[in-house]
């Protein structure tokens, strides 16, 4: 299972990269705005800065919503760095663009996916990744993890290559449950990854080992 971090914060990306378990980064316009990254030039530069920190795929989202605009913007993003994956919304023009990008060797991440039908369409169009937003479904009393399981079943039925990228992950239990279901990737905050480290018996055990060592040394 690949671990992506869902942020545009360079310090957090560096911290996750230093841990040695990071496989990529996802961003979106809201995350860029949160870091105060505005203006086309600054945004493009920020994507390159992220690519220079991590080894894996970095999702950069298009703003255009018409086919021609998505293609133009997607090509510009893809040309920035070989690690860039063009993030395209699950809309009709987006599906057409994903098909175009797939035919032209440009990797895509189909975002804002909230149903199995949308995920099926993204895979048919040739998306590299599909991003079901599990946290936002949970927020409206709908089981986000169940959507991951549905998509896993459908993709396995037909051997689709599209990777399931569980997005809008909010906490460590989301990460664990996605791993059990067989999500290919998860993207979440640094805290959702670091939460995997924690167990009180580890802390108590280590304290005892060190205390016993100190008695004889």
Positions marked catalytic: 87
Q: Per CB under 6 A, does 107 bind ligand E4P?
A: no
| H or E, element range at 120 | helix 116-125
Among 29, 69, 135, 195, binds ligand E4P (CB under 6 A): 135
Q: Which residues contact 152 (CB under 8 A, 6 or more apart)?
A: 164, 181, 182, 183
Q: Which of residues 4-43 bind ligand E4P (CB under 6 A)?
A: 6, 26, 28
| H or E, element range at 87 | strand 84-89
Among 83, 128, 187, 192, binds ligand E4P (CB under 6 A): 187
Q: Which is nearer to ligand E4P, 7 or 152 (CB)?
A: 7
Q: Contact region for ligand E4P (CB under 6 A) — 41-49, 67-75, 128-136, 151-159?
A: 128-136
Angle value at C-alpha 83, between 108 and 185, nearest 5 degrees? 60
As beta bridge partners, residue 4 has 24, 187
Between the alpha carbon of residue 8 and those of residues 20, 53, 97, 197, the distances in Å are 18, 12, 25, 23
Q: What is the DSSP letter of 111?
A: E
How many whole angstroms separate alpha carbon 143 and alpha carbon 114? 11
Sketch the per residue contact string, 143 through 182, with ligand E4P: x for CB under 6 A, - otherwise: ------------------------xx--------------
Q: Per CB under 6 A, does 133 bind ligand E4P?
A: yes
Site residue total, ligand E4P (CB under 6 A): 11
Q: Per CB under 6 A, does 131 bind ligand E4P?
A: yes
Instruction: List residues near ligand E4P by CB under 6 A.
Output: 6, 26, 28, 111, 131, 133, 135-136, 167-168, 187
């Amino acid at each position: 299972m690949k671990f992506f971090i869902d942020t545009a914060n360079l310090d957090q990306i560096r911290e996750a990269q230093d841990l040695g378990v990071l496989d990529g980064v996802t961003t979106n316009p809201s995350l860029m705005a949160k870091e105060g990254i505005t203006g086309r030039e600054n945004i493009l530069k920020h994507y390159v800065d992220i690519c220079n920190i991590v080894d894996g795929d970095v999702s950069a989202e298009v703003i255009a919503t018409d086919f021609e605009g998505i293609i133009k913007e997607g090509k510009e993003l893809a040309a920035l760095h070989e690690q860039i994956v063009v993030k395209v919304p699950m809309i009709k023009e987006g599906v057409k663009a994903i098909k175009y990008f797939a035919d032209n060797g440009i990797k895509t991440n189909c975002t804002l996916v909230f149903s199995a039908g949308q995920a099926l369409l993204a895979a048919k169009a040739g998306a590299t990744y599909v991003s079901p937003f599990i946290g936002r479904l949970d927020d409206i009393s709908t089981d986000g993890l169940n959507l991951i399981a549905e998509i896993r079943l459908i993709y396995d039925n037909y051997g689709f290559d599209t990777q399931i990228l569980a997005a809008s992950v909010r906490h460590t239990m989301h990460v664990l449950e996605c791993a059990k279901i067989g999500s290919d990737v998860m993207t979440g905050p640094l805290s959702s990854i670091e939460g995997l480290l924690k167990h009180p018996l580890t802390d108590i055990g280590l304290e005892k080992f060190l205390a016993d060592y100190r008695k004889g040394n």
